[in-house]
Structure 1
Amino acid sequence: MSSPTTDSDHEAVLDDIFETLAELAPEIRASLPGRRTKSTETNPSGETQMEADAYADELLEEALGAIDGVGFYASEEQAEPLDHGEGVTVALDPLDGSSNLKPNSPMGTIIAVYEGELPAGGDELLASGFVLFGPIMTMSVARNGTLTEYMVENGESEVITESVQLPEEPTVYGMGGRAPDWTPGFSAFIDEVEDEYKLRYGGSMVADVNQVLTYGGIFSYPALQSSPNGKLRLEFEGIPMAYIIECAGGASSDGTQSILDVEATEVHQRVPVHLGNEQLIDRVEAHLVDE
């Protein structure tokens, strides 16, 4: 992993950021029932926003931007980072999997904290985490090479598991994109593993990656024939989730290298994503290397 070691000043602002995220999580969750419809706006990637996307983004920007030591707020819903002064950059997917609102399926919030301004690579990541809005609300935080899972209740977080590690024997796999749009190498990989593992894919990266953290396995949103860089954003989803998985003893890949080593050139840059147990990342890379 290439994430830097944080100094005491960074640790203090990181504490404030994750405490604030835990405080806001119940409010975001409580807002969902009345915001299940699409808005008239699109995000910078051209996707139609749900009303819940815009509300969560506004709430998080106001609260996180007000923290002393946060310099920029960036999100999937904003064209450019918003300047809040001097300090670290917080980058969020405010409501990952918002399309799951209609069928009432799990979703979450993803956050990354970078030392510098965006675009920033994995070597500038200070910490990352996600909140999962499931039957139980949890928050997983990766800091200083360690992943910790918290229960979130009434705006406060309580440690459930310290030093979370992927199970050594993987049991699940999940993958995004349409099968006819997969590349030949990725299709061959899925053909190989579908008889070995259980399919778990629900359309929210937070929920799908949490399945891998719980049971071991692999989550992929691969390069597609129609979109060679896949769908997921490097700054808001790829890097933060890669760091979470690597802190839990797993591996990440864009098909050839750790996602933490991918060069960041654009704020809304996309990247193929493979996350999970190291042996499965090795196997998918072996299928993709000759494409």
Structure 2
Amino acid sequence: MTGTDTVAAIRAAVAGATPDIRAGLPGRREQAGTENPSGERRLAADEYADELLAERLGAVDGVGTYASEEREAVVDTGEGYAVAVDPLDGSSNLKPNNVMGTIVGVYDADLPASGRDLVAAGYVLYGPITTMAFAHEGSVTEYLIENGEPTVLNGDVTLPDDPTVYGFGGRVPDWPADVAAYVDEVESALKLRYGGAMIGDVNQVLTYGGVFAYPALQSAPEGKLRLQFECNPVGYVIECAGGRSSDGSGSVLDVDPTALHQRTPVYLGNEGLIDRLEAALD
């Protein structure tokens, strides 16, 4: 199996798991009684999605390791690519029935790995309909997923030239002064769109143009989101769609990987907005 075939098989495995993930949500809204390696309380839905994806992706020929933000260490599945997954991004939105997603990054290197080692990445959005944005070989394709089968909606997704939305995570009083000043600057031209799930907010940016961020906070200088499972894969998608990613000083794909569950500040969106943000943070 070629690398391209393996990537296609990974994409198909994730798409194929979506009906089971969605069907498993209603009965798994309760706390699982455990924490993930980052110290966050898990829902039963987090554990269920993780186990399901570990089984499906681990069975793909050409996948050598499976890693999840719900697991302390990588799982050896054979030889080939390393797959890093956030099984249920925004699972805290399950209780109020808001949008959630699944994120996957395909690395041609042992984890933890640089974002430059990604060969493909994408995310599933569990909204009113189920869609997938998947980046490979420099372009992004959007799929509608019905009964686990993907159908192309847009074969060349790019950020619109005229951005209209923004969303920043963290509590406003916890933002550094330069972040707050940047938001004050852009909010007169952009509409606030923030729903508490990275994927939902990033998809707004991918659809309408704009900027998403989970910045460094005064109480958490490393931010909240994880490099391997969230920032690298989604940054890869945004860059393949013609946008920019940043950790505040340069592409998030260039952040030096030091630990599997490493966190980093992340800023994603139209090139001009990210350029202005990096200048504001200098």
TM-score by length of 1: 0.96
Q: Which residue of 2 aligns with 1:117?
A: 110
Distance 1:67 1:255 in 2: 36
Q: Which residue of 2 aligns with 1:12?
A: 5
Instruction: Tell me the alpha carbon deviations over residues 65-116 of structure 1, each in whole angstroms, 9 at most, x when there is no partner.
Output: 0111111000000000011111111100000000000110000000000011
Q: Cα RMSD (Å) of the superposition?
A: 0.7
Q: What is the deviation of 1:196? A: 1.3
Alignment partner of 2:181 out of 172, 188, 196? 188
Alignment partner of 1:56 out of 41, 49, 70? 49
Distance 1:273 1:182 in 2: 13
Alignment partner of 2:274 out of 273, 277, 281? 281
1:195 counterpart SS class: coil
Whether 2:16 is the aligned partner of 1:23: answer yes
Whether 2:117 is the aligned partner of 1:130: answer no
Alignment partner of 1:157 out of 142, 150, 162? 150
Counterpart AA for 1:150 = Y
Whether 2:241 is the aligned partner of 1:248: answer yes
Whether 2:262 is the aligned partner of 1:269: answer yes
Distance 1:262 1:120 in 2: 10
Q: What is the deviation of 1:9? A: 1.5
Q: Which residue of 1 aligns with 2:160?
A: 167
Q: What is the deviation of 1:117? A: 1.1
Q: What is the deviation of 1:42? A: 0.5
Q: Which residue of 2 aligns with 1:80?
A: 73
Counterpart AA for 2:127 = G
Whether 2:39 is the aligned partner of 1:46: answer yes
Q: Which residue of 2 aligns with 1:101?
A: 94
Counterpart AA for 1:222 = P
Alignment partner of 2:205 out of 212, 226, 247? 212
1:20 counterpart SS class: helix
Q: What is the deviation of 1:37? A: 1.0
Distance 1:226 1:63 in 2: 38
2:20 counterpart SS class: helix
Q: What is the deviation of 1:28? A: 0.2
Q: Which residue of 1 aligns with 2:232?
A: 239
Alignment partner of 1:230 out of 223, 231, 244? 223
1:79 counterpart SS class: coil
Runs of 4+ in 1 over 6 A off after TM superposition: none
More divergent stretch after superposition (93-102 vs 187-196): 187-196
TM-score by length of 2: 0.99
1:33 counterpart SS class: coil
1:56 counterpart SS class: helix
Instruction: Tell me the alpha carbon deviations over residues 229-277 of structure 1, each in whole angstroms, 9 at most, x when there is no partner.
Output: 1000000001000010011110010000001111111100101010000
Distance 2:279 2:176 in 1: 13
Q: What is the deviation of 1:122? A: 1.5
Gaps of 5+ in 1: 1-7
% identical aligned pairs: 60
Q: Which residue of 1 aligns with 2:30?
A: 37
Distance 1:257 1:193 in 2: 20
2:21 counterpart SS class: helix
1:230 counterpart SS class: coil
Distance 2:147 2:22 in 1: 11
Distance 2:277 2:178 in 1: 8
